[in-house]
Amino acid sequence: MKQIYWLIRRDILLELRQPQVISGIILHALGSVWIAYLAFKGIIPTNTWNSLLWIILLFSAVHSSNRAFGSDSGGRKLYYYTLADARHIILAKIIYNILLILTLSAITSMVFLLFNGNPILHPLRFILALLLASIGLAGILTFTSAIASQEARNFSLMAILSLPLTAPLLLLVIRLSTSAIQPTVASNLSAMVLALLLLDILCITLAWILFPYLWME
Amino acid sequence: MLTNKLFVVIGVITLIFIGLFVYLLFLDRKTQRLEKELDELLKKQSKNT
Amino acid sequence: MPKLKKDWWKITGGLLVAYSLIAGLSIHVPQLPIIYESIRNLFYHVSMWFTMTTMMATAFIFSIKYLRQPLAKTDTAAVQAAAVGLFFGFLGIVTGMMWANFTWGKPWTNDPQLNGAATAILVYLAYFVLRSSIDDQEKKARVSAVYNIFAFVLMLVFIGIMPRLAEHSIHPGKSGNPALGVKGLDPTMRLVFYPAVLGWIMIAFWIWKIRIRIKTIHQKIAEL
């Protein structure tokens, strides 16, 4: 347990020590929001804004998780391998990514809403969507980052692996946040939330079980 | 509902399938032959070394 | 034909499929609105999906087997199962598009079952991209086994659970059980459908075995 906390701390400290990386990602996300605003303003209805936001969030999440396993050099990886249990490492990375993606999504969403007015009628649902999406995305993307990092060559590999796997998660989340901007009562709201929660738990559990096999070098 | 013309269609489809099936069998036998040949080659190789 | 004793299942598979072709087109089927006679496609189009899922499950099992005991032949079995599964998946999608175009007017709609199927295909295509990007044999096998396990579980989620959650769907038999029929499956159709699925699965296994053998021959030759 203490190992996990220490590992998360290490990642956070590393991130803060090089603010230009995280700023780059935030800037990338905000840039997308800006371009989306310019391109689509007045043309598309509110529901489409919702989907657009989530696509932007997805891509910035993929972008940011890509570095989860790539930043350590080989020698340092061996050092950590001898120190920490593989399961702790993956759990720590996932939790770190949850925080990262959540922060990223929150900032992006707020700027998005700033530009497009705030159509959210049920803020709780939207926040829930952000939260569950971050957890699920972190789980899946940390896992695919671990896989893609084994092969230093291919940057697009991360995206290729991640996009199909995150599709159902995204679908559910978009539906949940659509219900946040509709005035009507969502019919199977609790089913959606439950499904999202289970999906998140499933992804994290799978990543947790499978990671040790990846970590063997 | 079953007209004479439909019998022809059934016949055609079945024929096509039988053709594919026979081809699959042929591939199966060919693979077996290749495997045997390869194993004998390997055995000869290990006997010589 | 020598060695008929151990190859009986291949012949049986062929017979079952042939039976499903003949019977499937001859028997009387319930005339349902919109699909009418084309409901016979159930025997062929849906069989493709069942076959794909079975082959993917086989790949899944062999991936787990590989992680527990890393043998090259286990890895070969897993990849080839995924390859055959992908093949049947493509057949399923293409035949589905044909059928959809005929009955619903367009080849693709925003239907959860279709999206789940497409996502499953994409996931397994990514599996092969992953394999091709790693050179080291052992690493390739290990990493793709891990991905396969993750992918299969998620695939079950896409094609099994998501459609059930959908509020509405035009796929026959949805909003409830996504796999079969309209008011459960008509008993006469069942007589053709079950043998068809079984037959196609046997054929798929046969193709799988042949592919494994060809791959093994290649590997042995490479070692020479």
Closest CA to A10 of A112, A116, A83: A83
Number of structural domains found in chain A: 1
Average pLDDT value for residue range C7-34: 82
Distance from CA of C161 to the nearest CA of A (A): 9
Instruction: Give the helix/strand (H/E) hosting C224.
Output: none
Rama region for C173: left / alpha / beta (φ>0; ψ in -120 to 50; rest): left
Q: Is position C149 within any domain?
A: yes
Cα A165 from Cα A146, distance rounded (Å): 14
Quote the tokens at residue A178.
């659509």
Q: Is position C26 within any domain?
A: no
A199 in contact with C, Cβ within 8 Å: yes
Q: Is position C13 within any domain?
A: no
pLDDT digit string (tens) for C170-211?
Answer: 565 443 334 444 445 677 788 888 899 999 999 999 999 999
User: With bands split at pLDDT 50, 70 and 90, how would you rate the model's confidence at A71?
Assistant: low
At residue C182, the pLDDT reads 46
Residue with tokens 């940057």: A155
Rama region for C105: left / alpha / beta (φ>0; ψ in -120 to 50; rest): left
Contacts of C18 in chain B (CB under 8 A): 14, 17-18, 21
pLDDT at C39 over 80: no
A36-44, long-range: CB within 8 Å, 24+ apart, which pairs? A37/A115, A37/A116, A41/A116
pLDDT digit string (tens) for A167-212?
Answer: 888 888 888 888 887 766 666 677 788 888 888 888 888 888 888 8
Q: Which domain holds residue A177?
A: 2-215
Cα C159 from Cα C53, distance rounded (Å): 10
Question: Pick from B2, B17, B24: which is nearest to C18 by CB?
Answer: B17
Window 33-72 of C, Cβ < 8 Å to B: 37
Q: Is position C154 within any domain?
A: yes
Contact C158/A214, CB-based, under 8 Å?
A: no
Q: Which domain holds residue C119?
A: 34-218
Number of structural domains found in chain C: 1
Residue with tokens 């190859």: C7
Residue with tokens 């925080």: A99
Average pLDDT value for residue range C119-123: 93
Q: Is position C105 within any domain?
A: yes
